[in-house]
Amino acid sequence: MTPQLISTVAELRSELDRRRALGHTIGLVPTMGYLHAGHGSLMQAAGETCDTVAASIYVNPLQFGAGEDLSSYPRDLQRDTEIAAGREVDILFVPTEEELHPLGPPLTEINVPSLASVWEGASRPTHFVGVATIVNTLLNIVGPCAAFFGEKDFQQLAIINRMVADLSLPVEIIGCPTVREPDGLAMSSRNSYLTRDEREAAAILRLALDAGEAVIKGGAREPQEVIRAMGAVVNGEPLAKLDYATVVDPATLEIPPVLMNDVRLLIAAQVGRTRLIDNCGVSIHGDPT
């Protein structure tokens, strides 16, 4: 099934209203295109949950900082359409910058500062304002829906969840598990930037997460012990430069004084010229002592 290609806000709203009148529930998968199996898993989850699946493709300039890869970000609409068709996406929304922002770059910004200023936000100060602003725009265009996001961008997911709650948007946010390559590397459009040697080295992020998880399951409850274990793994790979490795409360993104209940391991590293991120959740049951 070839998805219906829509490029204007008015047409998208009209088509979704028509489908809602027929009793359809709407599932939205926002993307920046250059789709891979990770996006496909979100589309599949949306199809299993909702009657109509709409995916958006929009390379958002607001979330790219100075010197980042906006101009070189991979784009291939024909390939994306074929992948979306294979996942039975009903609607592919592909707006232009002018269509989304007819008055020029938006003057209104959405910010969740306590969640957006740390970790990725510390390294990329304008990134999450750009993400939250465009996601809010898309959710307002689409209207009541379930929106599907990958857990690979865990901080982004936390920010979007809080934004939707704070602004009382008629949207259910559904986080879906990270899809990985056979060697554990999280699927990402940016993996296409890696050389062969860098691609092999990039698996170190998952190995570092595994090391942190092993330390926790071995009984560690002091955050710095876990952080040191993760950092040591990345620092042992010559092609990788660690940005941060940490363990946080999944709701606040703060490092807890003592690890308990559910925690999230977060990691970011530069591999060659490509910045990669990853994360995993760990549940702590009982006192190891």
Active site residues: 39
Q: Are 230 and 267 in contact (CB under 8 A)?
A: yes
Distance (Å, rounded) from C-alpha 86 to C-alpha 28?
16
Helix then strand then coil, in percent of the chain rounded to 5, is 40, 20, 35
Strands 91-93, 240-248: pairing is: unpaired
Other CB atoms within 10 A of residue 165 CB: 11
Angle, alpha carbons 32-198-217 (nearest 5°): 85
Q: Would you list the DSSP string of 68-120?
A: SSTTTS---HHHHHHHHHHTT-SEEE---HHHH-TTSS-S-----HHHHSSTH
Distance (Å, rounded) from C-alpha 232 to C-alpha 213?
14
Residue reference for tokens 């994360």: 279
Residue 5 in tokens: 């290609």
Q: How many CA atoms lie within 13 A of 180 on its CB side?
A: 16
